[in-house]
Each structure stands twice: as C-alpha cells, then as structure tokens.
Chain A
C-alpha cells in the first residue's frame, strides 16, 4: 500500500495503524534483503497504538498519521542507535532527534527502524562490510544502489511506503533508479540537515524515497518542505529541456530508449520538448569530486586516524584521497562551482524542467567493480554517479521516477531537474508521467 492508500484505509477504519505496523514488522522479518540495521518492534507497536487512539478521538495529523516509516541510519533518533553504517558507531545512541525525525513524528508517522546504507553514506553500492550487503528486490544478486540502499530496497519490496534518504552525490536518486521507486533530492538547504550525520556539508541533501510521486509529495511536506498540490497534473505547454550533449552520450540502449519514451509521453500530454545544450557536466563532476573528497575527510578525519582498521577499504581509500586535497584547491573548486551555477541557471529562461536518465545502466551485480556501458568498460562508482553528482553541486531539485525496464526486467530511472525551489513543478511532471506510463504498478519478486 502507498501512504495515501494507508491514509484512506485508516480513516475508513478498514485497517488500524497497529495492523499496518505489525504487517510491516512481519515483512521485515520475512525479507532477505538486509534492508534494516535496527528494528524497534515494541516502540513501533506502542506508537501505532497511540496513533490509533488519536484517530479514534478525532485527532488527525494528516496523511502520514499512523503510517509506518523508517529512517536511513544516518538520521539521529533519540534513544535508538544510529550507526551511520559504521562499526565505529555501532553502539551510538543519540540523545536527541534530527529535525526531520521531529517533523515526521509530529506528522504522526510510526518509526519501525533504521535502514542499512553504504558505510558513512560514502558510496553507491550499500554493500556494507559491517552490517552486510543490501540486496535489490528485483534481483537479489544485484545492488540496490546507494548510499540510501536499505531505504530504496525496503520501499521497492513493499515493506513500507516511505523511508528517508540523504543525497550527497546521488544517494537518493541512485537507489530510486536501481530499485524502481521514486526519490526526491530537494533544493539544497530546503530540508533541515540538523541531526543527520554529515558527509559533505555543502552537498548533503535530505529527501524522501517512496513508491509513488504523490506519496513523495506528501513525505516531502512531512519532512519540512512546502505543501505540494498535485490535484492537477496538467503539463500542457510546459517546456521540457532535452539535453543534446552529455546526458545521452554513454548509456545502455534500454535506458536511452526508456527515457526517450518518457519524453514522447510528455509530448503526447502537451508538453513542449526543447533541445538544450547543458554546460560542461564533466567539469562539474570534477569540481564535485574535489569538494566531496575534502569535506568527507574533514568529517571523518579523527575516525580515519584513530580507527582506520574499523573502516571499510573502499571508504578508507576515499578518505585518504581527501587528506591530499590542498585547502586552496578546495576553495578554487567552490569558486568554480559559482561560475557553473550561473551558467546552468541561464537554462531556466529556456525551459521549465529538464529530462535526463538517472543512471546510465540498471543495477550492477554485488561485488562488481567495473561495468560495460554501451561498449565501454567503466568504474561502477564513477559511471553510476556520472549523471548525478553535478546536480548536488548545483543544488537544484531533482526527482527520479521509474520509467521502464530493461530486457532483463530491471528498473530504469528518469531524472527530472528543476530550478531552485521548483519541487512542486517537477513533482507535477513526475506524477503526469507516472499516471501515463503505469510503470509503477509492476512489483519485484524478491
């Protein structure tokens, strides 16, 4: 069930929050996806009963009231351990909640647990060396993407309708793409990051991972974003930019075809498709890598120097690289960032939103280090973040929705970009495409 279906069922008394929560807890137990690090059964049941009591007394907090959710295990939860996917923090229990945890509690949601992730959110596989690999519900031999891999897998498997995510270089949108669900990276700074373990302060974003676009709008508002009205999803006359450079250059054929089909769908709904040339995305990606290497090492320097053996090899390598970045190079990268932001913002006078693929391929296999994209072998991490990272540097909102499947039956993601604070518009476009394609109705087997 989606958030909105649960909300309807709760208000018509077809189901109670306790029943929904018990069902979620049972699904977690039955699942082999390893999507959760911590499950709080008793607290979740108590909270669900309290939410049922409120509804029965006429207290209605809105559509999240009584709905089971989970937080990515970077989000501080008072009294519930928050590991960051790290052995170093395996017993860390925060004494306060993150702002988004407070917002979602006020909205009436029922927290059932904390989802697994790539260690420190510093990677895209969610193959966690301390808590085990998260598996993709569409093919358990494949990664769910990351770093919010547990959140993506749990939502895709139908364990719950919504889990929180963070996105520093694609960590909401990559799992959304690989797991066939919806992920929103809002405008930089729009959703509070207070109480969320950082990775890169100037690139970290909080956002929802949900099954549908309408649920995404509800969850976004409950996390502290503005209310989004999706009663009308008319996109007639909307100007959709289609990049003629970079974004379609190196892709799997299935991905290219699915995204172009989504473009045709938008055109059939009355949108105007406009060819655009985007600024140098390779340059933005270089700037982004420079910034993230430096910032992440600043965050985790003490952990690296004092607990090196307790950090996974891939993350140690990245943190070591960060130690080598010069301060002046970091500042120059932030100066370049401003130039590229200005260049990119000129596009918003030509178009209202931009369509791109989310990832150049569907989900690779667990343990796979390189993959073929078209006819070229690429590093899995660099290939998977290639269409993502620049968007974190720009700080603009980006929505990933499923738009099709490969011949092997793996989901493909469409990324919809908008100007700063254009979340309502990109969600409206996403809902229009979702309604027209029906892709979201297909369910994974695992």
Chain B
C-alpha cells in the first residue's frame, strides 16, 4: 500500500504537515477500495467517453 505521508511530503510544494494526518485515513480507505477494482481491468478495458458510449 502507498505511504501517503511520504507521498504528501514529496509533493512540490508539500502538503503542510499539520494537514497531512487528516488525509491519511481517507486515502488509505480509498486505495483499499480502489485496488481490487483496478485489478479487474484488462488490456481491452477502454476509457469512458460518455453515457451513450456503451455499445
């Protein structure tokens, strides 16, 4: 899993230290939910282009 604290510190400019802590639980939960979905993608999975582009 991503070390979000290090990632936040590595940004230019970094996210202020005082604000980083409150981001961590949200980012960790989002990553935890997103990773299994991401793993279902295949090389044939194309990008969304609009609500009617479903054929």
Q: Which residues of A contact B (CB under 8 A)?
A: 187-189, 202, 282-283, 286-287, 289-290, 305, 308, 316-317, 320-321, 323-324, 329, 331-339, 341-342, 345, 394-396, 420-421
* Chain B residues closer than 8 Å to A331, beta-carbon distance: 47
Subset of 23 A-B contacts with CB under 8 Å: A188-B51, A282-B33, A290-B30, A320-B23, A321-B27, A323-B11, A323-B15, A324-B7, A324-B11, A324-B23, A324-B27, A329-B38, A332-B41, A335-B41, A335-B47, A336-B37, A336-B40, A336-B41, A338-B48, A338-B49, A341-B53, A394-B51, A421-B52
Chain A residues whose C-beta falls within 8 Å of the C-beta of B7 in the assembled complex: 324
Give CA–CA (A421, B50) in the complex, Å: 12
The smallest beta-carbon distance between A266 and chain B, in angstroms, is: 24
Given A286-B30, A289-B30, A324-B8, also A341-B48 (CB < 8 A) = yes
**Chain B residues touching A, majority SS:** loop
Contact A334 B47 (CB under 8 A): yes
| Beyond A283-B33, A320-B15, 7 extra complex contacts between A and B, CB < 8 Å | A286-B37, A320-B8, A324-B4, A324-B7, A335-B46, A338-B49, A342-B54
In B1-30, the 8 Å CB interface with A consists of: 4, 7-8, 11, 13, 15-16, 19, 22-23, 26-27, 30
Min Cβ gap A9→B in Å is 38
Q: Which residues of B contact A188 (CB under 8 A)?
A: 50-51
Q: Which of A286, A337, A345 has the most CB of B within 10 A?
A: A286
Bound Cα distance A317, B46 (Å):
31
C-alpha spacing A321/B26, complex, angstroms: 8
Tell me which of A290, A338, A396 contacts B47 (CB under 8 A). A338
Q: A338-B48, A341-B48 are in contact. Are A332 and B38 (CB under 8 A)?
A: yes
Q: Are the CB atoms of B48 and A334 closer together than 8 Å?
A: yes
Residues of B within 8 A of A289 (CB): 30
> B50: which A residues are within 8 A, CB to CB?
188-189, 395
Chain B residues packing against A (C-beta within 8 Å): 4, 7-8, 11, 13, 15-16, 19, 22-23, 26-27, 30, 33-34, 37-38, 40-41, 45-54
The A/B interface has a contact count, at CB < 8 Å, of 83
User: Are B23 and A321 in contact, CB atoms less than 8 angstroms apart?
Assistant: yes
Across the A-B interface, the 6 shortest Cβ-Cβ residue pairs = A395-B51, A337-B48, A338-B48, A345-B54, A335-B45, A286-B33
**Across the interface, do B27 and A420 meet the contact criterion of CB distance under 8 Å?**
no
In the complex, how many angstroms separate the beta carbon of A393 from the nearest chain B beta carbon? 8
Known: A289-B30, A336-B37, A336-B41. A187 touches B23 (CB 8 A): no
Contact A286 B48 (CB under 8 A): no
Q: A289–B33 Cα gap in the complex (Å)?
A: 11
Q: Is there an interface contact between A336 and B54, defined as CB atoms closer than 8 Å?
A: no
Bound: A421/B46 CA distance, A: 23
Please, how many angstroms separate the alpha-carbon atoms of A305 and B47 in the complex?
A: 30
**A202 and chain B: residue at smallest CB distance:** B48
Known: A324-B7, A329-B34, A332-B38. A341 touches B27 (CB 8 A): no
- Most chain A beta carbons < 10 A, residue from B19, B23, B38, B41: B38
Q: Once the chains are docked, how many angstroms separate the CA of A395 from the CA of B53?
A: 11
Interface centre among B7, B41, B54 (most CB of A within 10 A): B54
- In the complex, residue of chain B having the shortest beta-carbon distance to the beta carbon of A317: B22
* Cβ B27 vs Cβ A338 within 8 A: no
Contact, CB under 8 Å: A305 / B45: no
**A339 x B51 contact (CB < 8 A):** no
B48 with A317: CB separation less than 8 A: no
B26: A residues at CB distance < 8 A:
321
B23 contact set on A, CB distance < 8 A = 317, 320-321, 324
Q: In whole angstroms, how far apart are the Cα atoms of A420 and B27 in the complex?
A: 32
A202, A338, A345, most chain B CB atoms within 10 A: A338
CB distance from B16 to the nearest CB of A (A): 8
Residues on B with beta carbons closer than 8 Å to the beta carbon of A334: 47-48
Taking CB atoms, residues of chain A closer than 8 Å to B48 are 202, 334-335, 337-338, 341
| Neighbouring A residues of B4 by C-beta, 8 Å | 324
Give the docked Cα–Cα distance between A337 and B13 (Å): 31
Task: Please indicate the chain A residues that have their CB under 8 angstroms from the CB of B22 in the complex.
Answer: 317
- The smallest beta-carbon distance between A282 and chain B, in angstroms, is 8
Chain A residue contacts of B13, Cβ below 8 A? 305
CB neighbours (8 Å) of A342 from chain B are 54
A290: nearest chain-B partner, CB-CB? B34
List of A residues within 8 angstroms of B49 by Cβ: 338
**Min C-beta distance of A342 to chain B, whole Å:** 5
How far, in Å, is B19 (CB) from chain A's closest CB?
6
The answer to whether B37 touches A316 (Cβ under 8 A) is: no
User: In the complex, what residues of B have CB within 8 A of residue A323's CB?
Assistant: 8, 11, 15
